Structure 1
Amino acid sequence: MSSMKAHQHMDVRPWHVFVFGSALGMAALYERVQGYRSGRQYVLCHQSPVLNHITLIALSLIAGVFLTAVVGAGTAIVMSRPSRPPFLIACMLAALALVVAADRVDAGGEQRASKTAAEPFKENTCDYTPQVYSATPGWFSW
C-alpha cells in the first residue's frame, strides 16, 4: 500500500498545470505540423469551406489547451488560499479533453476530405487551383 497518511494529499502545484497543458499543446501542434509533411494528402477539385472551418475549430481547441494551462495556473497562483488539488487536476483534465476533442475534429476533417476527394467532377479540370488537404490525425483519433 501507499505510505501516505490520511492528512497528506497529492501535491499538485500551479506550475504542474502550466507545464502539463503547455506540453500537451506543443505536442498537439507538433503532430499537426509533422502531419503536413508526412500525413495522408487529399487533392480537392471542389471547394470545401467545411474543411477550412474544421481546421479552424481544431486549431481553436488547441489554443484552448494553452489558455487552460495559463488561466488554470494563474488562477491558482492568484487565489489567496493555497490551491486545492481538485481544481488543478480539473484544469489538467480540461487540457487533455481539449486535445482529444481537437484530434476527433481532425479525424472528422479527414473523413470529409476523403469523401470530397472521391467525388467525381464533370469536366477534366478543377473549379480552381486544386487544394491539397493534409490529414493531421492525432494520437486520439481512433
Structure 2
Amino acid sequence: MSDIKADQHAAMQPWHAMTFGSALGLVALFERVQGFRSGRQYVLCHESPDLNHLTLVALVLVAGAFLAAVVGAATATMRSKPSRPPFLIACMVAALALVVAADTVDASGERLAATMAAEPFNERTCDYTPQVYSATPGWFSW
C-alpha cells in the first residue's frame, strides 16, 4: 500500500510552492547583486527619478515573488482541509509572473539608461558627480 494518507495530495505539497517561489526570488535577487550584473554600465550625467522608480518597482516585484511563495505555502499548510493542487500551482505561477515582470521592468530601465547615456556628455554641464547605472535585465527579459 501507499504511505500517502487519503487527505494528502501526492503530486503537489505546500513546500513545492515555497521552494519554487523562493528559488525564483533568490535567483532574481542574486542577478541584481552588484558583483553579478551583466557588465553593461551606463554613465548618466543627470539624476533620473524615473530610473530610480523603475529600480524600486523591480525590487518590489522580486519581493512579491517571495511573498507569493510564503503566503501560498502558509495558507495551504494552515487550512483545515488540504489545499488543492491548482491553488499551489497558482502560487507558483504568480511567483514566476512577478519575477518575469521584474525582469521586464529592469529591461525597460536599461533602455531608459541607454537613452540617457546617449546624450552628449560634458562634465561642466553635469549637475553632480556622474552616476553609473549597471544593467540587471535578468533571464526573463526578451
Name the structure 2 match of 1:70.
70
**1:132 match: secondary structure:** strand
Aligned residues: 132
Matching residue's letter, 1:12: M
User: Deviations for 1:18-61, whole angstroms, at most 9, x for unmatched residues?
Assistant: 100110000001111111xx420000001111000000000000
CA–CA separation in structure 2 for the residues paired with 1:51 and 1:99: 18
CA–CA separation in structure 2 for the residues paired with 1:123 and 1:73: 52
Name the structure 2 match of 1:106.
106
Contact 1:28 1:62 in 2 (8 A): yes
Name the structure 2 match of 1:93.
93
User: Deviations for 1:58-117, whole angstroms, at most 9, x for unmatched residues?
Assistant: 000000011001000000011111110000000000000000000000000000000011
CA–CA separation in structure 2 for the residues paired with 1:136 and 1:121: 23
List gaps (5 residues or longer) in structure 2: 1-8
List gaps (5 residues or longer) in structure 1: 1-8
CA–CA separation in structure 1 for the residues paired with 2:116 and 2:63: 27
Identity %: 73
Matching residue's letter, 1:100: V
Runs of 4+ in 1 over 4 A off after TM superposition: none
Shift of 1:127: 1.2
**Which deviates more from structure 2 when the two are superposed, residues 106-115 or residues 121-130?**
121-130
Distance 1:41 1:125, change over 3 A: same
CA RMSD of aligned residues (A): 1.5
TM-score, normalised relative to structure 2: 0.88
Distance 1:15 1:140, change over 3 A: same
**2:137 match: secondary structure:** coil
Matching residue's letter, 2:26: M
Q: Kindly report which structure 2 residues correspond to 1:1-142, keeping only aligned pairs within 5 A, or say none.
A: 11-33=11-33, 34-35=36-37, 38-120=38-120, 124-142=124-142
Contact 1:10 1:85 in 2 (8 A): no
